[in-house]
Structure formats: C-alpha cells, structure tokens
Structure 1
Amino acid sequence: MTTLAVLENLTAKLPLGVCVLNEQLEIEYWNDFFADRLNISCDQVKGQNLLTLFPNEAKYLKKKINSVFVLNNASFSYWEHRPHVFLFSSSRPITGEETLMYQNIEFIPLHVSNNVVKTVCMIVQDVTELASYYQGKKQLSEELAQEHSALLALNTKLEAAQNQLLQADKMAAIGQLAAGVAHEINNPIGFIHSNLQSLQDYSTKLLNLISFYEKVVNKTQNKTFMALQQEMQERSQYSFLREDMPELINESITGIDRVTDIIKNLKVFSHVDSSEWQHANIIEGIENTLKIANSQLKYNVEVHREFQQPLPALFCQPMQLNQVFLNLIVNSAQAIDGKGHIYIKVSASSTALVIEIKDTGCGISESAQCKIFEPFYTTKPVGQGTGLGLSLSYSIVQKHKGSIVVSSELDVGTTFIITLPLLTPSDLERPS
C-alpha cells in the first residue's frame, strides 16, 4: 500500500470529523466520521454546499468559515460556547448511554496560494467525555454547596431570632457593596459605550467615503483605475468587511447597553438609601425586581401585569419590600415546571395597597399552607431551600403593619396577596 493510500485510509478512519471546503463552501472531502453519521458517502456529498446540508447552523458556520478565508487564520468553536453545532449522537464511554455529542471544532486554512486561502479544513472533535467530566465536576460542586447550605441551615436553626435581626444589616451591606461595584463599573462602561458610538460614526463615514470614491472611479470609465480598484477590493475582501464591520459594532453596542441596564437595575434594586423609611413607587420596585429575577423567568415564564393607575406613593422601606417581591417571584418561577405564567396585580383603596402575585405552578398542599411562613419550613428538596425566604417576607410585611396570605391548589397554582396600609411617619410610632 502506498504512503498516500495509507494516509487516506488513516484520515477516513480517524475518530475525528474531517471536512474540506472550497471557497464556495462546497464539500470536496469528508471522512467516515461524517459519512457514517449522515449516511452520505464522500463521493455522494462531493460538490454539495455545507450550508444546505446544515441549514439550522448555516449562519454560524458561514461566519466561522468565511473568517478563515478572509483572515487566513484558524477559527475555533468550543463546546462551552456552542456545544452542539452538528446534531450528532455520542455514547458515554462507561455507561454507553446515548446523548447529544458535545463538540470542539477547528476551522483551519488548508490550501493557501499567494496568501489567498483556497480551501478550509473543518475538524470536529467529540468531547462528550470531557464535557461530561466538567459537568459532573460542576454538579458535584453544586451538591457540595447544597450540603454546605444545609449545614448552615441547621446551625441557623439554633440562632433563628438573631438571624432575623441580622438580615436587614446583611441586605444593607449587600446593597452598599452592589452600589459601589456598579459605580466603579459605570466609568469604564461609559467610555467604552462612547468610543463604540464614535467608532460606529467613523466607520459609517469611512464606508460612505469609499463608496463615493468608488462612484468617482466608475464614472471616469478609466479601465486602469477600475481594474486597480477591483483588484484592491478583492485583495482586502472589502465586500465582506463592509457587511461584517457594522454588524460587529452594532452587536458590541447592544451588549454594552445590556450591561448598562443591568447595572442600573442593580443600583436601583439595592440602593443603600432604600433601607430608610421613605415614600416610594411600588410599581418601580416590582419592575426592578423582575429585571433582577430575569434569569429565573426568561426561559419558561411569561409575566402578566395589571397595575392600577395612578397609585399613591407608599411610605415604606423599599429595599425590604423588594426582597419580599423577589422571594415570591422566584418561588413562583421555581414552582413552574415547563412553560407557565405569573400574574402580578397591584391595586389601591383609600387606605391600602394590595399586591397579588399568582402563578400557574405545582401548587401547595393544604397542610403545607399552614406552615410556609414558619422559619426553616420548606417544601423544596433538602439542600435547595433554607425555609427562611417566606418567613423573612412575613416579618417584613408585619413591620409595615400589613398582611400576607396564601391560597393554593395542587397542580393549578398559588396566589399570594399582600396588603400594605398607606402609613404616615406617625403611624410607625404607634404599636400594631
């Protein structure tokens, strides 16, 4: 067997996916890794466009591969960022369990002529075993953290009264820390945002200037100038840069805006001054709390709002009430298995505000409803809840001379109704 034949046989049998693409993203070769999983041989697939075969990931693959053609540099896709580019199955090495393959992908320039990439080689590595190891390690860390939390909860049971008193100081410290960090981050975020906007303006002007020069050259009908222009544009991949550069800048500005919103919401939510009694807008507190809880809500929960307008300002401790709203909203989200809804209704009478938070979750049994406001009582599995959230919420509402009641039905949902009287500073001086 010749050396070439040995190499071809080796490439075909490698435990890696090898696929060679030309400038039109047409497949010139792929090995048994792809052929066996798609039941399409190398001869059958030759000349077909990769993006046609994998339409769901076409945009991502096109961007990765084109960057290699343009920049003549390798590009990578790691499983932590995009675990399943190709929907291939993989067997766990020990259990044999079939699971979706986790992949690392490397896109490398293969055939380069006069510094121009002619073909790109895409190498797919099955890293399911590695991903399983890291995920197992993460799960173990989470379990250890849960066990640690359970031990802390047991210790806390012996100091329940003290912990209730310390909670307010803890929240104030967290708020002060969050406000300080947010302030420090605001400065670099500000000049990055400003620079990106300037860069966006500059790039637009430069592209417009280039377009003007292009029109001038074309208008001269000078074949030499037009040929030079076309050669330079092709050499620099101008058409690709003109399309990709504004998109990259827009994505960066969108990301910075998102970070700015998060910092703003965090500052509002945990503002140190809100530990004091003051007149506050309850709607703003609920909206800011929803933004803080967004990671718990965005994947499977739709929030519905019904706010009476106008609402009177409430004399309260805003940060403390935000903690109550956060506890109830997160509990509602965690009670929903799959898709569900949370309904938040706020209304007012001449003497009180009423906040109703209703979910379509799993519900609470009648026996549990009598205990849920007791310290350390929880319906969650061991290690997943301390049983202090609703107890603390009850204490905060009591401090505001209000009430909190629950009604629930298993497999239907739960409703919490908070009634907060419209207090004045003098009301705080009188006992409840």
Structure 2
Amino acid sequence: MLEPSPRAAALIETMTGFLADDVYPAEPVFEEQVREIGEARTQPPVMEELKKKAHDLGLWNLFLPHPEPGHDPLPNLDYARIAELSGRSLHLAPEAMNCAAPDTGNMEVLSMFGTPDQKEQWLRPLLAGSIRSAYVMTEPQVASSDASNIETTIVQDGDEWVINGRKWWISGINRDTCRILILMGITDSSPDAPRHRRHSMVLIPRDTPGITVERDLTVLGFNPFESHVEMTFTDVRVPITNIVGEPGAGFAMSQARLGPGRIHHCMRMIGAAERALELMIARAESRSTFGTRLVDQGVIREWIADSRIEIDQARLYTLYTAHLMDTVGNRAAASEISGIKVAVPNMAARVIDRSMQVHGGGGLSQEFPLARMYAEARIIRMADGPDEVHRRAVARTELRRYTDATTPEPHGVTAHLLPR
C-alpha cells in the first residue's frame, strides 16, 4: 500500500544519483561561497548550478500536488520518498529542486487561491525558480501559535490596502531574489467579527515603500544564510486586487498552506536522521577509546539500534499520513499531520544528538552537517505550530472519537470502540 509508484521509483533513483554526484560534493563549495558573499546574501553560484541540474533531471517542483501548466503533480505518498532524500542535505537539496520553504507553501496558496493575474505575475516565476518569496505571519507581541491572535492591520483605503504592523521569524526576506511577500493580518477588527473570519492574506512586492527589516534573528546563536528577521510595515500600500482569495479567508488559507508544509518538514527530517545515523556508524567504526572501537561499545550499539527503530517508526507514520492525504484529504488527515509534526522532529533531534555525541567535539563544529541538522530539528518543533498545539489537536480528535463511539444509538446500543 505504501510502495512508490513506478514514476516515483525512477525519480528516487535519479535523486539518489543527484545527491551523490552533485549535492554532497557541493556542500563545502556552498559554505565557502557563503563566507565570501557575507551579508549581501546574493545567490551562491553553486546553487544556480544545482538548480539547473535538478531541473534537467526532472527533480523540479515535485512538492506541488496541484496541476499547473507544465506541471504533472505527484501524490503526497510518492513525494514523501523523494523529500526524505532531499532532507539528507537540508540546506542545499530542497532549494536546488525548487522545493524549499517558504516558497513551497506560497506556491500552494497561489495555486489554490490566486487569481489568473496573480498566478501569471507571481506563481509562474516562483515555479520557474527565477524569484523567491516570504511568508509573513508570526508576530512578537502575541502568541502566534494561535494564528487568530495576529494583530497586523490590513485596512482598505479607496482602491488600496494599507498595512501596518510588526512581524518576526520571517525567513528568506534578505535573499536578493526575494520579490514577493504573502502577509496575513486583520481586515475585520470589529468586536463581533467571527474569530476565524477576521484575517486575510495580501500580496506585497518586496520593494514596496514602508517595509523595514529591523534586525536579523539568530538561531541558537548563529545566523543562517537563509536568515530570519524582525520587520515592520508602516503605511505599506498595495492595490485592492492584491488580496488573496477573499477578505476574511486568511485563517482557512493559512491552514490549507501549513498542512502540506508540515508533512514536507517531516519527510525531510527523516532524511536528515538517516544521514546522521550513517555518520554515527562511520564515526564509531573509525574511532577507538581505551583500547576498544566505539562501535563495539554496548551503549553505542544501543544508540544505533534505537535510532534505526525510531527512524523506521517515524517513516511509516509519515507515509501513512501521506497516504491519507492522497485518499481522504488533508482535513480528514489533520490529526495524523499533527501527530507526525510532533513525532518526527523529536525523533530526528534524538538521532542527531546521538550522532553528535559519537563525533565528540567535531559534532558541534562546521566539520560535519550535524550541528546544522540539530538546529533545524529544533526549529521544526516550533515552525508551522509548536508541539503543544499539535498534541492538543490530536487529543481533541481522540476525545471526539471516544465521545462519538460511546454515545448510545437510537435503540440504546453503545457503539463499539473500534480502531480507526
């Protein structure tokens, strides 16, 4: 049931070769070019080379499950296998394949809800990989894990929207190819407005006056090339036609956007964990302490075994969730999406941490990809909703199922508590 289709199997083989022949050798080159570029954050030449190669190999826009001109979509289940492989090089492979956040979610929003003009102006160049984008939702003054708290205002003034507010943890905005922002804010601030009908999404070109990047935000003390920022919007004006969907639909669209994004993160985290396990074994095979190879130490073998068990459990959970998304839809699979969003990043953090420990001081340095992986796993425990929110969603679903199953039927018979 969870096996890849023939098309996906061929893409998996191509992806495996792309990683070995192009991506892994490019990792140190990318790091060197990033150091040379410095704060300018212009596109490293090696990334453009990887993008061209990925495009030529057909490893392009595979994340998008909706048909678009020139795009033949893959089911989520098939993409899961390929995304896992891309996670083995988190900072190179997804972007090289035009499958990196936040562009993926923004392209989904435009594909599902954009007008023909919005698609022509922004979706087409995003699908072509010629520009990048940012998703602007989280705010420092409120608990943004509840998106209905968002306070940035989007006020109509004649034939324009006027945007005012402060946002943070906005990624990609400093990249020189970033051209468009999708911002979520309040369009209906009346006291009696329905809680989930107050917010809207609006398209804001990056060069619109009134946008100010206040500062970069470090991640566990370092500033990644992708960059996260705090930024303000002061009387930013865009045409009334820049609304995405309809006014008041922002919350619903954010959920439509985040569902696939959550499973994409999980797919990639499994790949990162697999690579961390391979590095752990290779390091343990090559190092000795107190006259004994690390790999022969009981505790190391226990870490290896636990890692394999946990990775395989997480993979099956994720593939099952992808299968549900393909067969019953994202809404019906919402509890499973929340479940993997908790289980997988936590699993990956444990596996990566073990690998770092086996690598000793090297595991904390730039010598290996482990420190970057660990930081990414920690970020994902908060990105697209923190663990606690997703646990709450899973519990709510289970309690509802229990209530439904124990409610007496018309003739006084109680339904059996059957597994889903």
TM-score by length of 2: 0.24
Radius of gyration: which is bigger? 1
Higher RCO, 1 or 2 (CA under 8 Å, sep at least 6)? 2
TM-score by length of 1: 0.23
